[in-house]
Structure 1
Amino acid sequence: MENLLIEQIIERILVQSGSSVQVVLEDFFPGDRFAGGKYNVDNHIITLYREEIKAQCLQLFSSTEQFGNYLAVVFAHEIGHAEDRELRDLIQRMDGTANEATKKGIALQIEMNAWDFARTLIPQHLHSFMDIIIDSSLEPYYEALEVTA
């Protein structure tokens, strides 16, 4: 049942976005970070990590009741990366500088671009829910820049 719900959410948002990105589902992110999704710019594939998304939802909302909506927001964000026409240029600029503050600023811009696009894919009535996720997601970037959100 849960996998059917996930597939329906992915299909709905994918069609709505018009993206040609491929989507892979896995249970856990294979690294130290707490990542619900990952976009690979080289092969144009989004990987969503079901159990990580559940854990994030539980951590942020103390429940998995909103799991479907949380997954939709995470997926919309990853599509935001996939459809960001500036992404390759931003990555090159980030890789091409030794200035840590500049790198952190570019990393924040990459995330904000993805969130801006994601907002267009999520229904208006879920935007306050989405804002909580966005604020939580961007907090480390603002902290890295020593800026308040």
Structure 2
Amino acid sequence: MEQALFERVVNAVLPLSGSQVEVSVQRRFPGKRLVGGKYQPASHKVTLYQEPIKQQCRQLFGSLDRLEDYIAVVFAHELGHAEDPQLEQLSRLLDGDLMVKERNAIALQIEENAWAFAEAWLTGIDPAFIRLIIDESLAAYRLAVQSDIA
């Protein structure tokens, strides 16, 4: 049933993006971090991780009542990375010799770009719900940039 829910969300959101990205749904992220989705530029593939997404949804909203919408938001964000024409250039910059301040600013830009694309594809989902997820997602990036300014 869970697999079907994830597939239904993917099949609803993917056409809105026009992306040709390959999509995979796996049970768990192969690491200790709580990663709900990942875009791999080399293979042009998005992977969604069911258990971390459920755990994130529970942590942020206290239940799985909005799981379908939460999956859509996470997936749209990963699609945003896949469709960002600046991602390759920004990623190359991150591989360079940068100061921490510059690295933090570029990392924030990469995430903000993905969210900007994602928001356009998330029709029919409460904007306040989306904004809460975006703000939570960007909080650490914004804090790092603000710490550099202070």
TM-score interval, smaller chain: over 0.9
Match of 1:14 in 2: 14
CA deviation string 1:29-73 (max 9, x = no partner): 112321100000111000100000000000000001100000000
1:76 aligns with 2:84: no
User: Which region of structure 1 is more displaced relative to structure 2, 37-46 or 27-36?
Assistant: 27-36
Equivalent AA in structure 2 for residue 104 of structure 1: N
Match of 2:42 in 1: 42
Structure 1 outlier segments of 4+, above 2 Å? none
User: Which region of structure 1 is more displaced relative to structure 2, 41-50 or 22-31?
Assistant: 22-31
Ranges in structure 2 where 5+ consecutive residues have no aligned partner: none
- CA distance in 2 between counterparts of 1:125 and 1:52 reads 21
Name the TM-score, length of structure 2 as normaliser.
0.94
Query: In the superposition, relative to structure 1, how do residues 6 and 125 fare at CA in structure 2: closer, same or farther (>3 Å)?
Result: closer
Ranges in structure 1 where 5+ consecutive residues have no aligned partner: none
Equivalent AA in structure 2 for residue 129 of structure 1: F
1:114 aligns with 2:114: yes
Match of 2:132 in 1: 132
Checking the alignment, whether the CA contact within 8 Å between 1:36 and 1:50 is kept in structure 2 is yes
Equivalent AA in structure 2 for residue 98 of structure 1: L
- CA distance in 2 between counterparts of 1:55 and 1:36 reads 9
Checking the alignment, whether the CA contact within 8 Å between 1:97 and 1:103 is kept in structure 2 is no
Match of 2:27 in 1: 27
Name the TM-score, length of structure 1 as normaliser.
0.94
- Give the 3-state SS of the residue equivalent to 2:48 in structure 1: strand
User: Which region of structure 1 is more displaced relative to structure 2, 1-10 or 81-90?
Assistant: 1-10
- CA distance in 2 between counterparts of 1:128 and 1:40 reads 29
Checking the alignment, whether the CA contact within 8 Å between 1:21 and 1:44 is kept in structure 2 is yes
RMSD, aligned CA: 1.4
